[in-house]
Structure 1
Amino acid sequence: MNFGSLQNLIRLYLWGNELGIGKGDDLSFLEYLTNCSSLETLDVSRNRLNGVFPESLSNISTQLSFLSLGSNSMFGSIPSGIQNLVGLTTLGMEYNFLTGTIPIGVGKLNKLGRLVFEGNKLSGQIPPTFGNFSQLFQLSLSGNNLSETIPSSLGNCKNLQFIYLSFNNFRGSLPKQLFSFPSLIELQAQNYFFTSLPSEASHLKALQNFNVSNNRFSGEIPSWLGNCLSLEYLQLDGNFFQGSIPPTFSSLKGLRYLDLSRNNLSGKIPRYLEKFALEYLNLSFNNFEGELPKQGVFGNASRVSVLENSKLCGGIHESQFPPCSSQASKKRGISLASKVKFSVIGVVLCLISLSCFFTILYCVRKSRSKPFAVPSVEDPFVNVSYAELLKATDGFSSANLVGIGSFGVVYKGILYCDGTMVAVKVFNLQRQGALRSFMAECNALRNIRHLNLVKILTCCSSIDFKGNDFKALVYEYMPNGCLEKWLHMKGHDQLRRNLKFTQRLNIAIDVASVLDYLHNLCQTSIIHQDLKPSNILLDDDMIAHVSDFGLARFLSEVSQSNLVGMKGSIGYIAPEIS
C-alpha cells in the first residue's frame, strides 16, 4: 500500500504484527510517509522488519510526536538527520541491531519525554547534549556497548523518573546529580561503577526500584536509602560494601525484594526485617554473625538465602546453622522445677485445646441448619501502583488516548509485569461526582461476572508524584473500540466499517443478555443508567461488552418515587425505566 497518498494521515499503528520478510528492504515503505505532512504518530514496533535505519525518516513531518520502531531487525547507525524531528515526545528504537554512536544532534529534540534505545549495539558515550532534555521522564539505554562516564549534564533533566543504564561499559562514578531528582522512581545501573554512592540524597521520596548490583562500589551502605519510604526493590549485591545494615532501613516497611549478597557486610541481622512483608531476601556471602531470626520471611527457606555466613547460628531447621551457644546452654541447664512447670503448662494447654475443639464442633453443627451462603470471591488481582500505570501508558501519553468520558479519560497501555494489553480509566477527581462515579463502578463490578461485561483487571487508589489523589480502573483492552464509532464515523476515523445484519443482531443479543443478568440474575439487581453505543465495546471477535458503571445503582437503593430522577446521557433513556 502506498501510504504517501494519505496526505491527511495523522496516526499509523502497525505494531504487534509479523510485517517483514527479512530481505533487508522491509523498511522501504516508510519513504512514502514523507508526503504525510500531518503525521503525528508512527508505531511499527514488534514486527520482523529488517533493513538499514532509513535516512528518509529524517524528512517525515515535523508534527511527528510519537515514533516507535522497537523490537524489529533494523541495523546500521542512527542517522544524524533524526535531529530534524523536533516535535518528537517519544522516540523508541529498542531491541534492534543498531550500531555506531548516538548522534550529538539528538540533543536538539528538547521536547522528548521518552528516549528508549535499550537492547542494541550502540557504542561511544552518552552525548552531553542529553542535558537539553528538560521534559525527559524516561531514559532507557541498557544493553548496549556504551562506555566512558555518565555526563553530569543529565542533572539538568529534572523530570527524570525512570533511568536504565545497565549492561553497558560505563566506568567511573554515578554523578551525584542523578540523585537529586525528586520524581525519580526507578534507577538501574549495573556496570563497572566504582568509588562510593553519594553520601547524601534527601529528595528521593518517590524511589521504588534501586538496582546498582554487580558494580564496584565500596564504603558503607548510605543511610539516606532509609529515607526512600517508597522503596520496594533494593539490589546492592555484588559490590564491596562493608559495615552493617544501616539502622535507617527499619523505615523501609514497603520492601518486597532485598538483595545485599556478595559484599563485605558484617554485624547482626536486624530483627525488624522479620516484620517486613518481604517476598525475597538474600544476605549470602557476607560476614554476618549472631542469631538468625525465625519469623517473617526467615520462616520460609525458599524465600531467604543466607549462605556462606559462617558466624551465624540458630534459625529454622532448614537453614542448617548450628544452635547458638546461649540456646545450647539453656537446654543443658533445665532444672527439675522447670520440667514440672512445663508439664503443668502442657496439661493446661491440652485442656484449653479440648474445650476449643468441642466449642467449634458445636458451632459447626449449629451452622448446618442455616442456609448456605456463597463465600465472597477473593480478589485474584495484584494491585498496581501509580508508577506502573504511568509506565504502562507512556506517561499517560496523548498517543495512547482512546476515549474521554464525563469523569475521566481512558488510555491504552501494556502492563510491564506480564505484557497484558489494558485500558486504563483515569478519573478526574477535580470534577464533581468523579469520586462517587469511581466508588459506584467499584461497588457494581466487584461481585458480578458475565461474558458480555468488560472485564475489570484491577484498580489503583493512590497519590501521584505531586501529592494529589489518583484513582484509576484497569480493564481488559477491547481492540475494536466502541459501537459508537462503528455506527457514527467522525473526522479522521472515517474508515467505512459496515456492520453486517448478523453482527448487529449478535451485538443486540449480547447487550440484552447483560441486562437480563444485571436485572434478574444478580444477587442484588443493578441498574446501569447510562447504556449507549459509546459504552458498548467490541473485542477481536466483535463480541459486545457493556462498560462504564459510573452511574450504576443497586435496585434495592432505588425507590419507585425517585426513578424519574435517575441519571443518564441526553438522547438515551435508561432501558430499565423505559
Structure 2
Amino acid sequence: MSSSFLLCAIFLLLLLRVMSAPVQHNNVTDRSSLLAFKSKISLDPHGVFATWNDTLAFCRWQGVVCGRRRHPERVVSLRLTSLDLVGTIPPHLANLTFLRRIDLSSNQFYGPIPRELSRLSRLQELDLSYNSLSGIIPSEISHCLGLQIISLSYNMLGGYIPVEFCSLPSLHTLRLNNNSITGQIPTSLANASSLIYLSLSYNQLSGGIPPSLGKLYVLKYLGLAANNLEGSIPPSLWNHSSLVTLYLSNNQLKGSLPQDLGQTLPHLKILAANNNKMHGPLPISLSNVSHLRVIQLKKNNFSGRIPSNLGSLKHLRSLLLFSNQLEAREPLDWSFLTSLSNCTILEWLDIDQNNLGGLLPKSITNFSTNLRRLSMGDNSIEGSIPPEIGNLVSLEFFYLGPNFLSGRIPASIGLLKNLHILDLDYNNFSGEIPSTIGNLSRLNLLFLNSNSFSGSIPASLGNCKSLEVLNLEHNKLTGTIPKEVFSISSLTIGLSFEENQLTGTIPPEVGSLINTEEIWLSGNKLSGEIPYSLGKCQVLQIFRISKNFFEGSIPTSLSALRGLQELDLSQNNLSGKIPKFLGDFPDLYDLNLSFNNFEGEVPRKGVFKNNSEISILGNDKLCGGDPVLHLPICAFSGPKKNHKYSPKLAVIISVFSGFMCLFLLFLFIASRRWIRQKSRMKPIETYTIKEQHKSMSYAELVKATNGFSEENLIGYGNYGSVYRGTLDDHENDAKVIAVKVFNLKQLGALKSFVAECDALRNIRHRNIIKILTACSSVDFKGNEFKALVFEFKHNGSLESWLHPEGNEPLGVKTLKLMHRINIAIDVASALEYLHHHGQAPIIHCDLKPSNILLDDDMTALVSDFGLARFINKSTTNSTSTFGIEGTIGYIAPECGMTNKVSSHGDVYSYGILLMELFTGKRPTDAAFKEGLTLRTFIEDGFSERVMNIMDECLLANGVQASDHSQTINHAKTFECISSILRIGLLCTNDLPTERMEIKRVRNELNKIKNILFKG
C-alpha cells in the first residue's frame, strides 16, 4: 500500500515538473510575441485587438487558437483575415514555435515578409494574400519543411520565385499570382512533386515554360496567364493527364496544339490560351477531350478549318476563336456550325475576325435555345440572315458586322426579346428597317450603320426604352426623324443619323435626351432652327449638324451645355453673332462654325484662343477676335458725343429724379412694415415644383389614398409614410401616384420636407424620381400637413428585388446580371448629375436600395432626398457639416466620426450598394460579425472564389452553373463581376480622397458592360 502510494507521488511530482517551469516560460513567450504583433498594428477599425488584454487568457483572444491535448495553451493558429488591419508583420511571430497556420489575408499589411518566419518548423499554411506586402519573397521560408500551402497572391512582391520552394516535400498549393515577380519559372519546380495547384499569373515572368513542369504528375490547376513568357509550349505540358484547368493567356507563346490532344489531356475542362502567337490547325482530336467546357483560343494565328466534329463535346459552353486566321469557303467548311447545334448547353460562340467566307449557313438557326452570344463579324461572309433566326429566343448578343451580307433583315428579328446588342454594321443590307425591332424592349446597342437601308426611320424604335446607342449613319434613309426616337431618354451614349437623306426639322423632343453624350446629324437635308430645348441636354459632349440647311442663330439655351467638347455647325445657313458663352466651356476643343453667315466680333476666351481648335472660314462679316485669326478690326459703334441739352430740360430731369427717389424711399419703408407684420402670422407655406402635375389639396390626397388607409400603405421611413393613391381624371385615364406624408411630430421631419423640396425643385434627370407637386396645408382637424406627390413605380424599390419578402412566390422577383449592371450605371449617372451638373452640387446623404425605385423598364430612379444637402458650387468635394444622419451600413466612416458630408460620402454609399447589388447581402447581414464586413467578405472572395460571393440568384438564373468546374466556364463573366466588385471596394476606401470619382465609376461600368457584350 505504502509503495503504491510512493510510486504515485513520484509520478505526480515528475508530471508537475514537466508541466510547470518550461510551460510557464513558453506561455510567457507566446503572449509577449502576440503583444509584439499587436504593437505593429497602426489601424484596427473593427476593434479586433480590444480583446487582447489582461482580462482574457491569450488563447481566448480573437483570431488566436491554442492546442488541445498535446500542447495546451500554445498558439497553433493565428487567423486575422478580412479585418482592414493596417501595419507590418513583426519578426516576433517566429517565437510562436507551435504555429501550424498563419492567415492574415485580405488586410492592409505592408512592408517585407519577415525572414524569421523560417523558424516555424511546424508551419503548414502561410496565407498573406490580398495585402500590400513588398520586397522579395524570403527563400528561408523553405526551412518550414511541413508547408503545404503558400498563398502570397495580390501583393506587391518582387524579385524571383525562390528555387528553394521546389524542395518542399508536402507543398500542394503555391499561389504567387498578381504580384510583380520577375525572372524565369524555376526548372526545379518539378521537384515539388506534390503540387496540385500552381498559380503564377499576372506577374512579370519571362523566358520559356520549363519542360520539367511536365513531371508534376498530380497537377490539376496551372495558371501562367498575363506574364512575358515566350517560346514554344513544351510537349511535356500537353502530357499532363491530370490537368483540369490550363491558363496560358496573354503571353508571347508560340507553337501549335498537339494533334493527339484528346489522348494526352483526357480530364481537361478549361483550355485558355488567348492572346498569344500560337499557330497551326485546330486538332481534330479536340473533340475527344470529352470533359471540355471552355475553349478560349482567341487572338492567335490558328489557321485552317474549324473541326467539324466539335459537336461531340456535350459539355461545351463557350467556344471563343475570334481574331485568328481560320478559314471557310465552301459549304463543307461550314459543317462545324451544323455539328455545334448538337452542343445543347452551348451559350457563347465567337468566331469574329477570321477568314471565313462563302454563304452564311441556315444551320445557325438550329442552335440550342440556350445560345446567348453569337459573334461572326469581321469576316467575308455573304448571303442573308435566315428568316428562322427568331428561333434563337435566348440570344442576347448578335454580331454579324462587318461582312458582305445582303438582303433584308427578317421581321422575325423582333422575336429575340432578350437581345441586348444587335450589330449588323458594315454590310450590304437593304430595304426598310423592320418595325419589329421596336419589340426588342431590352435592346441596349443597335448598330445598323454603313449599309444600304432605305425608307424612313421606324417610329417603333421609340419603344426600345433601354437603348443606349442608336447608330443608323451612312445609309439611304429618307423622311423626317420621328419624335419618338428623340424621346428615348435612355440614349446615354448617343445617336447618329449622319450621311443619310433625312429632311424636316429637329423635333423639340430632342430635349428629352438629357443624359445623351453624343448627337451626330451631319450630311442630311435637315432644316429649321436649332431647337431651344437642346439646352436641356446638359450631359452632351458632341453635337454635329454640319452639311444641312439649318438657319437662325445659336440659341442662348446652349449655354447650359457646359460639358460640350465638340461642336460642328459648319456648312449651314446660321446667322447672328457667335455667343460669348462658347468661350466659357472648359472642355470644348473642337469648334467648327465655318461657311455660315455669322457676323460681329469673335470672342477671345477659351477655345477661341487656339487657332487649331476652331474653324470660322466662310463667315465674311466676322471681325476682331484673337490676332492669330487675322480678322479685320471691328468698327466701334457707340453713342454719339456732344449732345446738347437745354437748361430747362436739365431742371425738369433733376426735379423728376428727386421725386422718384422720395417715392421709392416711401415704398421701401412701407414694404418693410408690411413684411414685419406678416412675419408675426403663422404662414401656410407654398412650395412650387417645376412642371408640377397640379396643385393638390389635403382633401384631394385623402380621396386619392382612401383616407390614407392601411391597405394603401406601401412603405414608411424615419420621417413619415408613403401611400399609393389614384387621381380621378375625367379627360384621361386615372393616374396612380405615390404620396409621401411627413410625420411632423417627428423631430427633423419638417427639415426633411424642406430639404427634399429644395433638392427636387430644379432636378431633371432620367435616373432621378420626378416629383409632381408638394402639398403644404392643414388637415381636417387644423393640424399642419405636409406631403410630396410622385409618380408611382409599379416595380417598387431595389430593396424589394434584392431581398423579397418571405411570402413572395419564388422566382417572381429576380434580377438578372444585365439588370444589375444597368441599375448600377443608372445610379452612377444620377449621382454624377447631382454632384457635377446641377445648378448647385447636391449630396444625397442616404443612398441605399430602398431609395432606388425601378420603373416599368427596370430603369433605376434615385429617390428620397429628405437628407439631401447643397454644397459650395465652386468645389464639389468641399465638405459641409451637419448633424449625422443616414442609414447604418451605408454611412461613410468620416461622416460618423466628423459629422461631415461630401460627395465622397455618397460615393462610399454607392460602393456599398454596388457590392450589395452583386452579392445579394446587406451590409448589416447577420453573417457579418467578429470583424467581418461586406467589404472584407468581398475582398476575401477575389478572384478565384468569385462564385462563392456572388448572389445565388445569379447562379440560379443561368449566369453560370453551380459546381466549381462550371464556374470557370464563364471566365469572362466572372472577370467582369470581379471588376465590378473591385470598383465597389475602390469606392469604399477608408480615405475619402482615395475613392473613385463617380464619373470614372460610370465610365468603367460601361466598359465592363461592353466587354460582357463583345467578350
Decide whether aligned partners of structure 1 residues 308 and 201 sit closer, same or farther in structure 2, where only a CA change above 3 A counts.
closer
* 1:161 aligned residue (453, 465, 468): 468
Bigger mean CA offset, 184-193 vs 150-159? 150-159
Residue type at the aligned position of 1:305: S
- Mapping for residues 366-445 of structure 1, pairs under 5 Å: 398=817
Structure 2 Cα separation of the partners of residues 430 and 494 of structure 1 = 30
Mapped contact 1:429–1:435 kept (Cα < 8 A)? no
1:100-157 CA-partner distances (Å, limit 9, x unpaired): 1111111111221211111111111111211211211221100001111112222222
2:964 aligns to what? 490
- Mapping for residues 197-216 of structure 1, pairs under 5 Å: 197-216=506-525
1:252 aligns to what? 561
Quote the RMSD (CA, aligned, Å): 4.2
2:629 aligns to what? 319
Mapped contact 1:236–1:259 kept (Cα < 8 A)? yes
1:199-255 CA-partner distances (Å, limit 9, x unpaired): 344422111101101111111111111111110100011110000001100110110
Mapped contact 1:68–1:93 kept (Cα < 8 A)? yes
Helix, strand or coil for the counterpart of 1:67? Answer: strand
1:127 aligns to what? 434
Structure 2 Cα separation of the partners of residues 159 and 400 of structure 1 = 10
Helix, strand or coil for the counterpart of 1:28? Answer: helix
Helix, strand or coil for the counterpart of 1:12? Answer: strand
Residue type at the aligned position of 1:188: S
Q: Note if 1:225 corresponds to 2:528.
A: no
Helix, strand or coil for the counterpart of 2:546? Answer: coil
Q: Note if 1:305 corresponds to 2:615.
A: yes
Mapped contact 2:566–2:589 kept (Cα < 8 A)? yes
Structure 1 Cα separation of the partners of residues 418 and 543 of structure 2 = 31
- Mapping for residues 255-270 of structure 1, pairs under 5 Å: 255-270=564-579
Residue type at the aligned position of 1:299: K
Residue type at the aligned position of 1:134: S
Mapped contact 1:5–1:35 kept (Cα < 8 A)? yes
Structure 2 Cα separation of the partners of residues 274 and 173 of structure 1 = 33
Structure 1 Cα separation of the partners of residues 509 and 583 of structure 2 = 28
How far the C-alpha of 1:297 sits from its partner, in A, is: 0.2
1:289 aligns to what? 599
Residue type at the aligned position of 1:490: H
Residue type at the aligned position of 1:319: L
* 1:187 aligned residue (495, 504, 519): 495
1:328-350 CA-partner distances (Å, limit 9, x unpaired): 99xxxxxxxxxxxxxxxxxxxxx
1:429-486 CA-partner distances (Å, limit 9, x unpaired): 759868869x9xxxxxxxxxxxxxxxxxxxx97999xxx9879xxxxxxxxx95669x
Helix, strand or coil for the counterpart of 1:46? Answer: coil
1:409 aligns to what? none
Total equivalences in the alignment = 390
Q: Note if 1:279 corresponds to 2:586.
A: no
1:19-40 CA-partner distances (Å, limit 9, x unpaired): 4235345543222111111112
How far the C-alpha of 1:493 sits from its partner, in A, is: 5.7
Helix, strand or coil for the counterpart of 1:49? Answer: strand
Decide whether aligned partners of structure 1 residues 316 and 51 sit closer, same or farther in structure 2, where only a CA change above 3 A counts.
same
Decide whether aligned partners of structure 1 residues 553 and 245 sit closer, same or farther in structure 2, where only a CA change above 3 A counts.
closer
Structure 2 Cα separation of the partners of residues 222 and 244 of structure 1 = 10
Residue type at the aligned position of 1:67: L
Name the larger-Rg structure.
2
Decide whether aligned partners of structure 1 residues 274 and 88 sit closer, same or farther in structure 2, where only a CA change above 3 A counts.
same
Structure 2 Cα separation of the partners of residues 294 and 51 of structure 1 = 59
How far the C-alpha of 1:91 sits from its partner, in A, is: 1.1
1:136 aligns to what? 443
Structure 2 Cα separation of the partners of residues 120 and 58 of structure 1 = 20
Structure 1 Cα separation of the partners of residues 377 and 816 of structure 2 = 17
2:858 aligns to what? none
Decide whether aligned partners of structure 1 residues 435 and 138 sit closer, same or farther in structure 2, where only a CA change above 3 A counts.
farther
Structure 1 Cα separation of the partners of residues 816 and 402 of structure 2 = 22
- Mapping for residues 343-362 of structure 1, pairs under 5 Å: none
Mapped contact 1:174–1:197 kept (Cα < 8 A)? yes
Decide whether aligned partners of structure 1 residues 463 and 215 sit closer, same or farther in structure 2, where only a CA change above 3 A counts.
farther
Structure 1 Cα separation of the partners of residues 361 and 908 of structure 2 = 43
2:929 aligns to what? none
Q: Calculate percent identity across the aligned residue pairs.
A: 40
Q: Note if 1:237 corresponds to 2:546.
A: yes
Structure 1 Cα separation of the partners of residues 471 and 626 of structure 2 = 38
Helix, strand or coil for the counterpart of 1:217? Answer: strand
Decide whether aligned partners of structure 1 residues 327 and 14 sit closer, same or farther in structure 2, where only a CA change above 3 A counts.
farther
Helix, strand or coil for the counterpart of 1:88? Answer: coil
Helix, strand or coil for the counterpart of 1:254? Answer: coil
1:175 aligns to what? 482
1:362-386 CA-partner distances (Å, limit 9, x unpaired): xxxxxxxxxxxxxxxxxxxxxxxxx
Mapped contact 1:429–1:470 kept (Cα < 8 A)? no
- Mapping for residues 390-539 of structure 1, pairs under 5 Å: 398=817, 490-492=964-966
How far the C-alpha of 1:552 sits from its partner, in A, is: 8.2
Mapped contact 1:462–1:470 kept (Cα < 8 A)? no
Helix, strand or coil for the counterpart of 1:250? Answer: helix
Residue type at the aligned position of 1:93: L
Helix, strand or coil for the counterpart of 1:129? Answer: helix
1:527 aligns to what? none
Helix, strand or coil for the counterpart of 2:381? Answer: strand
Q: Note if 1:99 corresponds to 2:387.
A: no
Mapped contact 2:487–2:509 kept (Cα < 8 A)? no
Residue type at the aligned position of 1:492: Q
Structure 2 Cα separation of the partners of residues 400 and 28 of structure 1 = 36
1:61-114 CA-partner distances (Å, limit 9, x unpaired): 011122121212211111112111011122111111111111111111122121
Decide whether aligned partners of structure 1 residues 202 and 281 sit closer, same or farther in structure 2, where only a CA change above 3 A counts.
closer
Q: Note if 1:55 corresponds to 2:365.
A: no
Residue type at the aligned position of 1:242: E
Helix, strand or coil for the counterpart of 2:557? Answer: helix
Decide whether aligned partners of structure 1 residues 259 and 463 sit closer, same or farther in structure 2, where only a CA change above 3 A counts.
farther
Structure 2 Cα separation of the partners of residues 163 and 43 of structure 1 = 23
Mapped contact 2:908–2:989 kept (Cα < 8 A)? no
Structure 1 segments (4+ residues) deviating >6 Å: 399-402, 431-437, 460-464, 468-471, 547-554
Structure 2 Cα separation of the partners of residues 482 and 288 of structure 1 = 58
How far the C-alpha of 1:159 sits from its partner, in A, is: 1.9
1:155-192 CA-partner distances (Å, limit 9, x unpaired): 22222221000000000111111011121121100111
Mapped contact 1:206–1:230 kept (Cα < 8 A)? yes
Structure 2 Cα separation of the partners of residues 35 and 327 of structure 1 = 83
